Chain A
Amino acid sequence: MKRRNGLLNLAATAAASVLFVLAAAPTRADMQGPEIKIGVIYTVEGAWGSYGAKSFRGVRYAADDLNAKGGIEGVKIKLVEYDNHNSPTDLPNIVQRLATIDKVVAIIGPNTSGEAEIVFPFCNKLEIPVLGTSVAKGGILDHNRPWAFRNVMPDDKNTAPVIAEIVKQKNIKKVAVIMDVKDAISKYMGTVFWPGLFDKLGVDNLTKNDAVSFQSGDPSVTAQVTKIKAMNPDAIALAASPGDAAKVAIEVRRQGMNQQLLGAGGLFGDEFLKTGGTAVEGAITAAQFWRDNPDPKVRALVASFEKRSGTPIVLHEAYAYDAVLTIAAAAVKGGVTNKPDDLAKDRERVRNALDGIQIDGISGHHSLDAKTGEVDRPTMKATITDGKWVLVAVHASGS
């Protein structure tokens, strides 16, 4: 009898404990409407303006697609967009405005690494998550955690393995680097990335630590290319925006030079191809966006996107598209309430949810590293063949 009572007591206590735990556990508050705001900063002006235009299109299509399905848990996404007109001095005001007046839960952008060097620290200071989609300079997240992330692979991670393979394949012994000194990312590529990489690969960098340079907007690069011609390299590494890199390529071919042209991931896109024409035939760059990914989910998203845009989708619009999906997924995962009084907490929820998030988007499967905020994606080698980009190899994620 005593034993049966003891068992009954135990069962009752266990049941009561379970009920207590269930009652005490916080219930997930529904997201409140009518809209959840996401800030967007790009520019359609300047050397990288074409990427900004594509990026704006990408975020808009993503918001439209999500809103067509009811938004995020029934709450519509509202994009609050700013074009900083290629003016870095406008960026602090824009970020401030997005954070305090527009009250966005997260920010997507900006266009370039130079601009990110302004935007990311500001976002870190204001404690608002920011997701860069075309910010490719190495090391840029290091001092801007935990609030800064990016879904584009930095050039050093994306480009280095591809170039190493090309150097071996084509037996490249001597290389010359030409860079745009006016553009931050190009200058970084010309003074740090390319020299460091060629040094590591044992390639003789004929321009050593003093790359042949021009300034974006210069009318002619004839003198610079003539200088390189005299050095007689096996290959020419381009550190410039796509339009300017194409101009260099045109001048190289105009002077009858046949050197292999090498570029980082930033050149992979339609501007380098269209502007360069036949001059860029055979050029090789790193790539990270695979438009022809056979994954059925990716194919469906790409088809829907291209039906609206009327042109093949490129990296910048794909990553911008996925940035909206990523913020939306983080909002759900993090339990964002979208209550006005919860804005600071919601931003923190998004930030925490972005750490380690896995996304299946229009650019394929990718994830954001929980510690570094960097994206993990496969890398590819892209060659211009018969006037088209052809992806000729795939390196798996993390390799």
Chain B
Amino acid sequence: MLVGSTYALVALGFTLVLGTLDLLNFAHGETIMVSAYAGLLMTMIGFLPFPAILLLTMLVGASLGGIVYVISFRWVDKTVWTAPALSTVGVGLLLQTAATRIWGTDQQPVPDPLSAIRMQLGPLTISASAVLIILTTLVLMAGLHLVLKRTRLGGAIRAVAESFTTAALLGIPVERTIALTIVVSGLLAGAAGVLTSLVYHTVTPFIGLNLLLKGMTGMVLGGLGNVYGAMIGGLFVGILETLTVSYGSSSYQDIVVFATLILVLMFRPAGLLGTQIRERA
């Protein structure tokens, strides 16, 4: 559940961009990684409470999202469909290299703000920070749901996801909506950065790719471009991994996850909740 909730956040941010733009943002994993470092630096300052660290890191993620939008989507010709995706690969590599140069390759320990508080549930020891991570993820997912369903921005995102042309004809500022979508995706990446670093206990410049792959797997399992599918898919991947480790061996966790993915796609090619990517008008 703990691991799955972080995968769900990763998948959510990734699928928002995919669902809206029909394009892939491979810099999403590295945005999470840089946000994790930002969160760590803020934690080391000492006097900031966890909610403040979370909010500030989300802003860092949002800023990075904005930068990725400008470099890889605004300035790149989207009619050549591979160009933005490849550009985001480049941005991701740049971020990873920069992080390696600045912070080195050593694993940096992440202090746990609630390390002393633990609960015993039978044989299981549950830390307060684990509960915090799961609750924060659920709140963010609920927040995203409200934004998409109840706000003008959410309406605009859903309209642009259906059709750029129709949305433009309805007076929706398409390019601005795309930019805001990527910024929202960055907000989620920022949150994912802080929460995954608490789950991992450490942060290195190399966590981004692994997270991206897991997030993509959750996204595909749940349904391409389907925000609710990404939430469920990410949770499912995390639970599946943990069960494999608990009752089998970690050597099999990737086999089990990807075999499940193949089986699901064989019988439900659109994913568990179906895809929401439409043909662009």
Contacts and interface: CB of A to CB of B under 8 A. Distances in A.
Interface of A: 44-46, 49-50, 53, 181, 210, 213-215, 217-220, 222-224, 226-227, 229-230, 243-244, 246-247, 250-251, 254-256, 271, 274-277
Given A222-B2, A250-B109, A275-B106, 9 more contacts: A45-B206, A213-B250, A214-B245, A215-B254, A217-B207, A229-B123, A271-B106, A275-B202, A276-B109
B54 to A, nearest CB: 18
B65 to A, nearest CB: 22
Interface string B122-151: 011101001000000000000000000000
A254 B115 contact: yes
A286 B125 CA distance: 31
Interface of B: 2-3, 6, 100, 104-109, 112, 115, 118, 123-125, 127, 130, 196, 199-202, 204, 206-207, 210-211, 214, 242, 245-246, 249-251, 253-254
B213 to A, nearest CB: 10
Contacts of B201: 247, 250-251
Contacts, number: 101
B37 to A, nearest CB: 15
A240 to B, nearest CB: 11
A217 B214 CA distance: 12
A275 B109 contact: yes
- Dominant SS among interface residues on chain A: helix
B107 A271 contact: yes
Given A220-B2, A226-B123, A53 B104 contact: yes
Contacts of B2: 220, 222
B109 A213 contact: no
Contact of A227 (B3, B100, B246, B254): B246
A141 to B, nearest CB: 28
Contacts of B199: 219-220
B105 A44 contact: yes
Nearest to A43: B105
B253 A215 contact: yes
Nearest to A230: B123
Given A210-B249, A254-B127, A219 B200 contact: yes
Given A217-B207, A226-B246, A275-B202, A247 B118 contact: no
A103 to B, nearest CB: 31
B154 to A, nearest CB: 30
Contacts of A215: 250-251, 253-254
25 contacts: A44-B100, A46-B105, A181-B250, A210-B249, A213-B251, A215-B250, A215-B253, A215-B254, A217-B207, A218-B250, A219-B196, A219-B214, A220-B2, A220-B199, A222-B242, A224-B245, A224-B250, A226-B124, A227-B246, A229-B123, A243-B202, A247-B201, A254-B118, A256-B118, A277-B109
